Structure 1
Amino acid sequence: MLRLIRSSLRWKLLTVIVSILILVLAAVGVFSFVDTSRTIQSDVERFSSQIMKQANLNFSRYNRDNEQFFVSIGGSTEFADWLKADVGDRYELFRSYRAMEQKYIDPFVRFHPEVLSVRMYNENGNESIYRSPGVKYNLILRTDYSMAQESWLKELTLSGRMVRLTNQSSHYTDGIGRPVKTPVLTFVQKFQYGNRDGYLAVDISLMPTQEILQEIGLGQESEGVIVDQNGKIIVHQNVGRIGEQIPSGLMEEMSRAESSSFFYENQMVVDQRVPDTDWHMLVIVPYEEVAQSIYRVKNMTILIAIAGLVVSTLLIFLVSGSITKRLKELRKTIKVTDAGRFDVRVEVKGTDEVAELAGTYNRLLDRIESSIREMTESRVFQQEAVLSALQAQINSHFLYNALESINSMANLNDQEDIGRTAVALSNMLRYTSNYQDTVVTLEEELSHLKDYMYILNILYGDEISLDVEMTDELRRVTCLKALIQPFVENSIKHGYEVTGEKMTIRLTAAVWNERYLRIAIQDNGEGIPESKLEELQQMLAQEVTDRDYKRLSRIGILNVHYRIRMFYPQAHTGVTVERSEEGGTIIGLILPLQQGGAA
């Protein structure tokens, strides 16, 4: 088996991946078992907090609406008039009570059926009671009730603050008059107007808050509860537990806990404070319910891991076979290529990386074949260029001797202009036919141009002039040989020789874009037609290969552009053509800024 694994890429791949899968699944299983408890606890806490936040929001809104209702009555002028009424002044008592009922009580109770009663009591004995119809909760305040019976009445002081009281009230009956014990939240406050002391109390049913707690429902054994600052249960899902005291140990944990959740006696407790009160809303979840999820996750993890290992092994076996088969075909083709055959291609199957590799190898073979053809053509072209250069050199020697003879005869006959013309022409021929020096200084280029302009002045007199603007430092910059003179000749050919008008050619050189030299050759001729200019600019923008050189060498501008691009591969190098504002043509030569052979 070990020998089979070593000799087969397929079995190597299968062994490595299955081993990795086993290690990963084992690590995941251990981590899952260790970390699931913490994760589920965090999830339960977050879920509980979200639900409690919504429940807390509902309870706060419910509590705030009732508080505002109480404050509206207590601060009204109608309530003040009711307190000021004399004993037995039934008219004033009825008028002020009726005004409160119509203005505050009836509109509020119509949308808040949890209001059970509104009671007003004056220490002089006056008393008025509003009894809710009890349609929703079927609770009505007893007819024989009086606030004077309340035990907490004497404990209230003129603190200016509303007091909340919760208890299991026995002052209410059901629809058929039977006494009912119901959880009630009482808002009560002592008031004083002038020398009259009185009390206002509003009973709110806690049954809606029980409904809010019932909605939390985090488990069958979980419970929701609202307690006051002393640990007394105000609201509970179980009505019978209202008024009980929560364990003191739980109260201590609540005061010590740094976060909103903690464990107490194998129970997870989530605690949130009720806004604008000293109350706390608690959700208590037994750990057994949380642990059930942990055990379920552990068992499912094991089952899924085993099933996944089996399925993954089968899939890896099938997929690895597809991959290794195509790799074998690629290896076979490479061996054929190594034997010297470049016409065999790999059959591309699929769209994955192996298929991309096969396609890339095919494209590589295509490029090798293309490169071989281009190299063959390039060698033929180089041989033709060498033969052409040798032929030109042979012709040049004959021309040099002939020009030297003309110069000697001119000197013997005192024809200085003819002699100088012959010397200038000889200098130009020597300059262009010297194939050993391809790079010269701008000073040498200007000297070559000077000989050319001397011959032109002999031919045309002062009809053609040349202005050169260049610093001494730039004259020492190097460039390719015979770049400038062809463009000056081109300007004369398409300008002066066509129009016969005087022509001025301006030659400037300057540093361009910090690292380049820009030579500008500008004439004042008619300029290149727009159609021809656009065609030239498009051809200059194209990439040129050796194969195109013979075709382009017939066009002077493109010939020079090709030479520059081949010798200087840097970006931006080459020839540019544009029209000047005066109507002439501007030829731009962009070269690397080099001096003495260094960049």
Structure 2
Amino acid sequence: MIKRFANLKVRYQLLIVMIFITSAALFLIGQLSYTYFYKRNADEFMKKAESSVHMAGASLSTQLTSISTATNHLLVNQPFPNMIWDINNRNFTGYAKYFSGVGLLTEPFLQNHDLVSNVLICGEDKIVFSPSSLGITDYFLELFPEDIWASSKITVLPTRQNVMFRQGGVIPVCYPVSYNRNSKNLIYQDKPGERKARFILMIDTAQIRSYFERMSNRYTYCMYLADENGIPLDIERDQYPDAFLTEVKDWIQKEKTSSDGSINLGKDQLLVTKESVPFCSLNVIHMTKKSALLGDTKELRSFFILVWLACFLAASLLSFTLSNLLTRNIKVLGKAIGQINDGTYDKKTEFSHTDEISLLGVQLNKMYDTIRLQLIQIKKEEQKKAQAEIQMLSEQINPHFLYNTLECIHFQVLNGHQQTAGGMLESLGRYLRTTLNVGKTFITVEKEVEHVTLYMDIMNRHSTSGIQFHAEIDSSLKHIMIMKVLLQPLAENCIKHGFEGFLEGLEPVPPQITINITPRGDNRILIEVSDNGKGFDIKRASALMKAETPESKDHFGLHNIYKRLHTCYGELVEITFTSIPYLKNSIQIEIPENPV
């Protein structure tokens, strides 16, 4: 980062420094103010939330305790004990004999407790009785889809639509009840061997919600009643989905007493306050989101943003003004250096002032002239050196080939085969004319193919191999100039490493060498030399080709070609190998149409 800053222009360095100082100061002031106001706001809210939850819990606890006490008094009065005993002992014969008596007892009970909208007495085998309605059995399973007979203690169920009485939402409170006529005791539990009975209070959800909404404030996300497992009782998931999160339920179960805490919700945070209610281990929960508390600080944040923008603009204008005054001559010098780098410094910049930067510009012009002359001289020397190296590599002939050919010609003469000897001499002369052509590095594709054809003709004359040779050139490439003596060493490698050392009976029939020269696109040429010999190790061939020195003289030809190709074409050369023994072993060389 420091290195990047040091490489920036002076104007940008000034701009960054001034903006950094301004922004850092404003950020520090803004952050401290923002933190202070948020903390004060959060503290005030938490105090109000704790007070609201405590008041709601105390009030709700009082009402539920009063309802529980009244329920005890209600159930010990006839005809409730007899009705419960009949249900327990499967003697329940109808509703009529209980209807008027139960109605007289429950009417004042409902009038004295606004939270209770109705009561039910039910038993197994679809026995359902309500003093407010007859024929409600058909709605029972729709109202209670859960198994209310499984719980052995007083249980508060979550809110649901009161489908039986069409009165909105209700929160059922289920009492397991049984009656012993001998002891005349009513107990809140199921007796083994007897049919289960339930007395159910239907708490009005709207009354609970209305009370909690009055106790809430503008920051409250949700205030609700939850059971001991953290399950919300008076709200539904689509209204307040965060209250049904597993993290919230786990927190409520973990905190056994009245407390407050926070729960992370990704980018937001829930601030939770809990107050325990003794009745059925219920809990009053108050939740708000941290983002709601940040609302009052938005104006302060907007103010600091506006101040920062104003200071940013002022710092930018001031830094640009200063940079223009301080770097005016540096720009001129930088422009001159840029033109030198681009090679467009044809007309020199005149530095007429006497300040330090102008004097530096004068020295730059003198240094430019000196370096340009030196570069011209170095380029000429490099060209001569490269030409000499290419020529030297091109003229490295295998002496064994020359000796063997001359001996073969001598043998033909001694045996009186003057015509054959004359043909070999003519082929050798034409072959050497191309190889020893001093001063020429490049020849046409057509001439290069003619050169390798002469070589193969000579090799077939003084050996019994009978190698079939075929060369095919795309008509558009015949007169393209390529590096000379490129194909002959490749053909020699095919003969030497592909067709020698065969086990008897495994020789390719007939041995073939094929050369294809085709256009590749993007002004490139593909040269492929292939044979049907015994194949080669591709990894070893690649390593020997690129080695500083060949492993032995046997691999000198491939190494020589690689060096000459890179001298002529640079990094634009691509060489790949393929080897399928006795089918196709090839080297593919891709080069540009024009050397570098």
> Shorter-normalised TM-score: what interval?
0.3 to 0.5
Q: TM-score, normalised by structure 2?
A: 0.37
Q: TM-score, normalised by structure 1?
A: 0.37
